[in-house]
Amino acid sequence: MTAEVTDPAVRTLIDAINAGDRDAFFAGLTPDATMSDDGRDRDLHQWADRELFSSSGRMQVESATDGGRSLTAENTNATYGTMRTFWRFTVHDGKISRFETGQAKAT
């Protein structure tokens, strides 16, 4: 389903997550980027290190709209296993300035 993700900024972020490439992940974000997880704003660096990079996080896109700025994905990491998640991205000047993620509702 990653073919549905046509926004270059979002594709870059997904590729960085799946490659375990922390530097590429943060290079794809604006310097002042923010995020929330399950409706609560989090420290982006701490969250990414815990949820993605120190726990071998991976993302498999299930469905995407708006070029991938809104998507549902199966996220897997060594801490929590696999869970279905939603992601909403705000892109500014070709980089992600904010993303919101959390557990997706069952279909």
Give the start-to-end residue ranges of the domains of the chain.
2-103
The whole-number pLDDT of residue 105 equals 83
Q: 99 phi and psi, to 5 degrees?
A: -140, 150
Averaged pLDDT for residues 24-41: 97
Instruction: Write out the E strands in 13-69.
Output: 29-37, 40-42, 58-65
Identify which has the larger pLDDT, 78 or 1: 78
Instruction: Give me the residues paired with residue 77 across strands.
Output: 81
Averaged pLDDT for residues 42-47: 97
**CATH architecture designation of domain 2-103:** Roll (3.10)
Q: Does the structure show a pLDDT above 70 at 107? A: no
Averaged pLDDT for residues 52-73: 95
pTM of the model: 0.92
| The two three-digit tokens of residue 64, written as one number | 């995407």
- DSSP conformation class of 50: I
Instruction: Give me the residues paired with residue 48 across strands.
Output: none
CA distance 107 to 58: 21
The whole-chain average pLDDT of the chain stands at 94
Averaged pLDDT for residues 71-98: 96
